[in-house]
Chain A
Amino acid sequence: MTMEFKTISNGEAIPIESIPHLPFDEFSAQATAIVSGGGKVVQFFAFKIDGAVRLMAVLRTDALLAASCDSPESYPALTAQCSPFHMFEREIAEQYGIRPEGHPWLKMVRYHANCRDVDDVFGNDYSEDIPGKYDYYSVAGDEIHEVAVGPVHAGVIEPGHFRFNCIGERVLNLEIQLGYQHRGVENLLLKADSRRLPFIAENIAGDTSVGHSLCHAQAMEALAGIRTDDGSRIIRTIGLELERIANHVGDLGALSGDVAFLPPANYCGRMRGDFLNMSLLLCGNRFGKGLVRPGGVRFPMDDDNRRDLTARISELKPQVKHVFALLFNSPSVRSRFERCGAVSRSDAETLGLVGPAGRACGIAYDVRRCFPTEQYGRLDIPENAESTGDVWARAKVRVDEVMQSIEIIESLLSNPVETEIVDVSENRMAPDSFVVTLNEAWRGELSHCLLTDSSGGILRYKVKDPSFHNWNGLSMSLRNTGISDFPLNNKSYNLSYCGFDL
């Protein structure tokens, strides 16, 4: 069997017709062969073109591979042979009403009607707005009890419903139902005026503003044929790394708070603020909103800014080191982190975990190293793989990444390159084109995929947040773990609800 999938590059626009259009059987056979052979799914979605529905898959091995096929109304599920398609097939079924026959767990993803007005695959009546209306997986027997948490939580956090099947304190299965934040982002991006797109993109998930706006900007630049200058690439890289540091530091503090070890929790909270304030200096917004725009950045960096940022970084670096040492050298903390919520490497591969969660299980994949964008091609990104897959490993990966990101920013700041600032403009996109962009956001592989129609408008905008892969990792972590360790595991992943719900 020859491989028909086309090798593509990250952030390169190509004509849709250059992507191999295969018969379904061949598409299915090749896609499962690639993924069974160690490949992963980056994007797998349906789209309407010329009145017909097609399926598009972007897979990755050492390279990015793409192919499409005409979609049947129902088809033998790819998941039946190859698990990493699991969530994607459920999403396709929900969005387009295409039934994957023999799917092992055909459950709604976000609870909304499909876009083609065909019969709902799940038999839901969407006039009732209850995402969790569904027969949950249940366990029966003596001493079995069920705990339902959410969607309204005690803290100020996003909504999600968690169903624990427990025997005593031990969790047998955790089922997570999301969708409460579904805003129809992908449809919104289709309908919105093109000048509004960057604003929508950077607000898909508030804690990943730079990541999402970067994916969006790179896609628009590829389609409009705009080249960015060195200076803006450096600023964007700094923006993305600051976002990573602020989130990792905040989460490590929260992990410490969850085991009732307060000093690092307090210090991390303060240091997170310091890093957010560096983003504020960069672009006037603590979360990096308004920094990245198609074509470059909206704010330049002058020598004063560089000096200021360098001074702040060198003041914070020893503090960060000290607090992390305090956290990791406390025996009582280690005893909580180690062997808590471990996921094996093979399970992680099957679930397709990405980012720090995947690296904690030994999967070294990092977009910054494998498919570099912006300034990353010139940087040396280490592998950061741990082997234990437990809370300790997830925390350790994050600690290592924070220290590396600090060094990356230091080295980028020492490289004064001027940049032309850009503002929101109307870009003419190439017609009938396809582009996929990948970036390593702080949670892992983030990807936007755009298809344009014959007039250069957006035909399909597909967003995939790393949380789409990783929520099932959290479920897996909870197997055979004490229910009281759920908050700790949850924080070690700290996944996005709105990035998943779109």
Chain B
Amino acid sequence: MIESILLWAFALLTAPLFAGIIFKVKAFFGGRKGSPVLINYYTLIKLFKKGSVYSTSTTFIFKLGPMVSLGAAATALLFLPIAGHAPVFSFNGDVIFILYLLGLARFFTIAAAMDTASPFEGMGAAREAYFPIICEASMFMILILFYRLTGDLSFAAYFSGSQPFGLWQTAGSPILFVVIAFFIILLTENARVPVDDPATHLELTMIHEVMVLDHSGPDFGFIEMGAFLKMFFYASIVARLILPFELGNPALNLALFSLGVLIVYLAVGVMESILARYRMDRVPKFVLTSFALAFFATAITLEFLR
């Protein structure tokens, strides 16, 4: 249990570091030196030192948004097996609980954005509400597959101990589809290129960034931290799927897991460097690809198992 909590703390502490690596990769492709790898820590410290400014037209919902989104992301990590170790909490059905906990965070972010009554934020909220619906469909398709493979509905059953390796053993190559589907979900949920552009300053094209335009100081720090944790959450899942090995030694497991997470973040950085962003009306097609992959993975596997 102590180890689980330590691993959870490890996730909280290193999430901003991994996000900083994406900047480095993008700077490398752009022929620049780039910001320091620890930039996100500096940003968080800077934000927490500041005061917050609140528009007079906002209500308590606006202040609630950042806290709920950070709280939800931190809670989600409590249920996720990190480095293959048993999570802090686990129960049968926690997968659905976590998915909707993250959904709750999204609801509050959207509500806080709508609360400002800014037309930009309303537009961002509409986009944010639309694209994850498709993600949800592919998430559930993947859950159907995992449930049929393991008979369980908990993250612990999918990703801890020898498990993801077991999934590969039973289902085989269709899991490759699942990895790609998860990666697309990761890009969509975390507002990365080619779905969204985290680097832009153009309000009209933003999805996630535009919803948090009015937040400042510690509130914005909560949102940033929540975003790092959410990214880490999805990256851990992909990392465990691509490096599903159990090395028997917690330290080695953690090193292998960190390597996996690093690979995922590097892949995100490379994607952002070599791809332009899709036009807004093409994004749903891209996200639907993840659903199609998950669907075929499920169809193939279930047919095979029967």
Contacts and interface: CB of A to CB of B under 8 A. Distances in A.
- Secondary structure call for the A interface: helix
A484 B277 CA distance: 11
A147 B123 contact: yes
Interface residues on B, range: 20 to 34
Given A147-B119, A336-B279, A263 B31 contact: yes
Interface in B10-46: 26, 29-32
Contacts of A147: 119-120, 123, 204
B198 to A, nearest CB: 9
Nearest to B277: A260
A338 to B, nearest CB: 10
28 contacts: A145-B119, A145-B122, A148-B119, A154-B201, A169-B280, A257-B200, A258-B200, A258-B202, A258-B205, A259-B276, A260-B275, A262-B26, A263-B29, A263-B273, A265-B30, A266-B32, A267-B31, A330-B276, A332-B276, A333-B276, A335-B278, A336-B278, A482-B280, A482-B281, A483-B123, A486-B204, A487-B200, A487-B202
A318 interface: no
A260 B272 contact: yes
A266 B30 contact: yes
B282 to A, nearest CB: 8
B193 interface: yes
Interface string A250-268: 0000001111111101110
Given A266-B30, A484-B205, A336 B273 contact: no
A411 to B, nearest CB: 31
B203 interface: yes
Contacts of B219: none
Nearest to B275: A332
Central interface residue in A145, A261, A270, by most chain B CB within 10 Å: A261
A483 B204 CA distance: 7
B194 A262 contact: no
B197 interface: yes
B278 A332 contact: yes
B305 interface: no
B197 A260 contact: yes
Nearest to A330: B276
Contacts of B279: 335-336, 340, 482, 484-485
Contact of A262 (B199, B204, B278): B199
Nearest to B122: A145
Contact of A149 (B31, B193, B203): B203
Contacts, number: 89
Nearest to A170: B281
A173 to B, nearest CB: 15
A289 to B, nearest CB: 28
Interface of B: 26, 29-32, 119-120, 122-123, 193-194, 197, 199-205, 272-282
B78 to A, nearest CB: 33
A267 B31 CA distance: 8
Contacts of B30: 262-263, 265-267
Contact of B199 (A146, A169, A260, A270): A260
Contacts of B31: 263, 266-267, 270
Contact of A487 (B122, B199, B205, B278): B205
A363 B272 CA distance: 37
B201 A262 contact: no
A169 B207 CA distance: 12
A261 B204 contact: no
A260 B194 contact: yes
Given A154-B201, A261-B275, A482-B279, 7 more contacts: A261-B276, A263-B273, A267-B31, A335-B279, A335-B282, A336-B277, A482-B280
Contacts of B282: 335
B281 A169 contact: yes
A149 B120 CA distance: 9
Contacts of B123: 147, 169, 483
Nearest to B199: A260
Nearest to A156: B201
A260 B193 contact: yes
A262 B272 contact: yes
A101 to B, nearest CB: 37
A274 to B, nearest CB: 14
A155 B278 contact: no
A313 B138 CA distance: 53
B74 to A, nearest CB: 29
Interface in A447-502: 482-487
Contacts of A169: 123, 280-281
A435 B245 CA distance: 82
Central interface residue in A266, A333, A484, A486, by most chain B CB within 10 Å: A484
A484 B120 CA distance: 11
A267 B32 CA distance: 9
A482 B281 CA distance: 8
Central interface residue in A145, A262, A335, A487, by most chain B CB within 10 Å: A262
A259 B277 contact: yes
A257 B205 CA distance: 12
A200 to B, nearest CB: 32
A259 B278 CA distance: 8
A169 B273 CA distance: 27
A267 B279 CA distance: 23
A496 to B, nearest CB: 19
Q: Which 8 A-B pairs have the closest CB atoms?
A: A266-B30, A260-B197, A260-B277, A332-B276, A261-B276, A259-B276, A487-B202, A484-B280
A115 B112 CA distance: 49
Central interface residue in B123, B274, B276, B279, by most chain A CB within 10 Å: B276
Interface string A142-182: 00011111000011000000000000010000000000000
B200 A260 contact: yes
B132 to A, nearest CB: 17
Nearest to B197: A260
B24 to A, nearest CB: 13
Contacts of A270: 31
Interface in A49-87: none
Contacts of A258: 200, 202, 205
A261 B30 CA distance: 9
Nearest to B196: A260
Interface string A401-432: 00000000000000000000000000000000
Contacts of B26: 262
Contacts of B120: 147
Contacts of A148: 119
